[in-house]
A and B are shown apart, each in its own frame.
Chain A
Amino acid sequence: MSAKKEKKRDFSKYTGVLSSLIAIISGIIIALIVLMTTHPDKGFAAFTTLITGGFGMGGIKNLGSLFYFATPILCTGVAMCLAFQAGIFNIGGPGQYSVGALAAILTSLYFSKDFPAPFTWIVPLIVATLAGALWALVPGILKAYFNVNVVIGTIMFNYIEMYYMMHWINDYCYDAMKGQTRAIPAQCKLPQWFMPALTQNKTSDIGILIAILVAILIWIVMEKTQLGYELKACGKNAEASRYAGIKSKRNIMISILLSGALCGLGGGLTHLSVSGTYITMKEALAAEGFNGIAVCCLANNSPLGAIFGALFMAFLTVGGNYMQIFGFQREIVSVITSVIIYFAAFSLFLKQALERTANKKKTEVNKVTGEELK
């Protein structure tokens, strides 16, 4: 017990945060370099707008869009954290997210619009969650029972989704005038509660609250329950946990289904939002799915950290939307994201290096004072 307490006071607890910070700062520095070299005259103004998240230009109203952008990537980010902790790399986020989105749209268009009050939006959300899980089902089975690399499995399902999405939209919910999915009925949109007052934005809704709640819930499951412990054990060493009597195949299925469900929920929340989101007829994978990986990297695989990671990424996105004014493209945000992921990838190395320096300091102090450092 005392050893455990000792460890908690250890400096190593903060190295995770520190290495994320290093990753973020590197990303921002590279963005500055790219902006300054492309348009030296406007580069710095664009840069300040970007890193203030557009709040300097748009003011408090941007809080609404910040939450709007954070909602889907928080869900997909938590999904990735969960999968990562269970030793599974779920790249299927884009597919699961889009399928969830479509499921939410279709359910609200065809079924739930006549339901009694809260079920008009709760039912589509549940269906979206299930649809996301469904889209992860086959890659999960292939991984658990046929030993097919889960990365390949989920990537293939992304592409299958990409091609089928057009087909489904075209058949069931196509608005030919606008070239996108039909608008969902007003009663099926998420309730707003106090959010408009809080964010000074008329279209703000409770999506972000649900997402944060889910993140906390997943954190509790992963940290405080037996299921979470077993999932993590499998992720650390599948063979060893199998010897310890943990059913690894079942755990693979659970983690990938949960991960898919969370992505689906993200799609549902975004497409039931009051501000109105549509799927356009374009052969493209949903970026929200991939951005979840970035959120997860920033958060060091922790669902709670994902809340901050998602808010930060959304912050950058809001800033990125102002880039056009300065003659830049918003893709600069993706460039920053990629640099952050890149640096986060060797965060383990950074972490070890930091820990090494931290431990060095500790022993030095020990020598001088002759007692253990708290």
Chain B
Amino acid sequence: MEMLYFIARYFMYFFIPLLVVSVSGMFSERSGIIHMGLDSVMVWSCMWGVLCLQWLDGVVAGQLRLILALLFAGVMGILLTLLLAVASINLNADQTIVAMALNTFAPAFCIFFARVLQDGSEHLSIRNDFLIEKVPVLGDIPVIGEMFFTRTYITNFIGIAIFIISAIVINKTRFGLRMCACGENPQAAESLGVNVQKYRYAALIISGFIGGMGGLMYIIPVATHYSQTVGGYGYLALSVLIFGQWRSIPLLGAAAFFALCKTIANAYSGIPFLANLGLPSAFFKSLPFIITLVALAATSKYDHSPKASGQPYDKSQR
């Protein structure tokens, strides 16, 4: 039973950031902008979030410090995403290349900046006092309480909330539906009075905010210092997005599936059955990536990708 609790907690560490960041990607891509730069948004805003944690240390106590840092990371995420927005919405840039530029920029700048800040060392330390031993009431539920409501982080609940809210926004509100129209057929949307550029900007701002928070959410439970990497989570989130076919509920399943693979990859030595297989650790570590490819190959027949995704919007086109 202890084993199950341990795996469940571990699972949440991977699941939440993947879910949040792929939701961030969903906003961008449903509006018609391919967002390959999720990784850079995570790396970049994670640094600002961690710096904010350091600044607030001793000023604000407890969970409030984390929440403020999350908000700050979100705002910085918007800043970076705006670079993508300007280039791809106003300047008709190749969105994939812009994203590659961001992916080169973020880690390099963060190393540069961290070293300038602390004279040589690039590791930013994090003082982590955010662990919640037990959530009142919910923590007393048998099994589930033990799995999800003890020794947990507030980011887990924020992440789930973000998912639920964004699922409602995208699927049920006027804003969300119009945004999706911009991703499917922008010319048609424009002809009905939807300002495509404005909606795409809005979508990217939301995407940047969520992605930025996702960056900090990734690092809080798993690391004691920040070292300019998020372990390829941005790219993984992208595959989750494709695997989840850009739809909210499948996205949840895809994120859970990936997180499970990732959990197995990291905790396999503690699971006797897997440890006895005698496979190299490289196999388990690359398992999520291999499974992604297999899953994508199996599901690629059903392509629900937004139709106008990746193309610069040209009003005069039909």
Known A146-B300, A334-B107, A337-B104; 15 more pairs at CB < 8 Å: A89-B96, A147-B300, A147-B301, A148-B293, A149-B296, A156-B289, A156-B292, A157-B289, A160-B290, A329-B115, A332-B108, A338-B104, A341-B97, A345-B94, A346-B94
Verify if B100 is at the interface (C-beta below 8 Å from A). yes
Query: B239 — nearest CB in chain A belongs to which residue?
Result: A152
Could you tell me if A164 and B282 are in contact, using CB atoms closer than 8 angstroms? yes
Could you tell me if A345 and B101 are in contact, using CB atoms closer than 8 angstroms? yes
Could you tell me if B239 and A334 are in contact, using CB atoms closer than 8 angstroms? no
Q: Which of A89, A146, A157, A342 contacts B98 (CB 8 A)?
A: A342
Verify if A91 is at the interface (C-beta below 8 Å from B). yes
Rounded to whole angstroms, the CA-CA distance of A147 and B305 in the bound complex is: 12
Contact residues on B (Cβ < 8 Å of other chain), bracket: 35 or more
Instruction: Name the residue among A91, A147, A164, A345 with the largest chain B CB count within 10 angstroms.
Output: A345
- Interface code A141-162, partner B: CB below 8 Å = 1, 0 otherwise? 0100011110111011101100
Q: Identify whether the interface residues of A are mostly helix, strand, loop, or mixed.
A: helix
Query: A34 — nearest CB in chain B belongs to which residue?
Result: B112
Could you tell me if A167 and B93 are in contact, using CB atoms closer than 8 angstroms? no
Q: Which residues from A are CB-within-8-Å of B98?
A: 342, 345-346
Taking beta carbons and an 8 Å cutoff, which residues of A are in contact with B? 34, 38-39, 89, 91, 138, 142, 146-149, 151-153, 155-157, 159-160, 163-164, 166-167, 290, 293-294, 297, 328-329, 331-335, 337-339, 341-342, 344-346, 348-349
Query: Distance in Å from the Cβ of B34 to the closest Cβ of chain A?
Result: 9
Rounded to whole angstroms, the CA-CA distance of A358 and B318 in the bound complex is: 28
Q: Which residues from A are CB-within-8-Å of B116?
A: 38-39, 328-329
Q: Which residues from A are CB-within-8-Å of B105?
A: 334-335, 338-339, 342
Could you tell me if A349 and B91 are in contact, using CB atoms closer than 8 angstroms? yes
Given the known A-B contacts A297-B97, A332-B112, A346-B87, are A152 and B296 also in contact in the complex, defined by CB atoms under 8 Å? yes
Rounded to whole angstroms, the CA-CA distance of A345 and B103 in the bound complex is: 13
Interface residues of B in 271-311 (CB under 8 A from A): 280-282, 285-286, 289-290, 292-293, 296-297, 300-301, 303
Q: Which residues from A are CB-within-8-Å of B292?
A: 152, 156
- Interface code B62-106, partner A: CB below 8 Å = 1, 0 otherwise? 000000000000000000000100010001111011101111110
Verify if B232 is at the interface (C-beta below 8 Å from A). yes
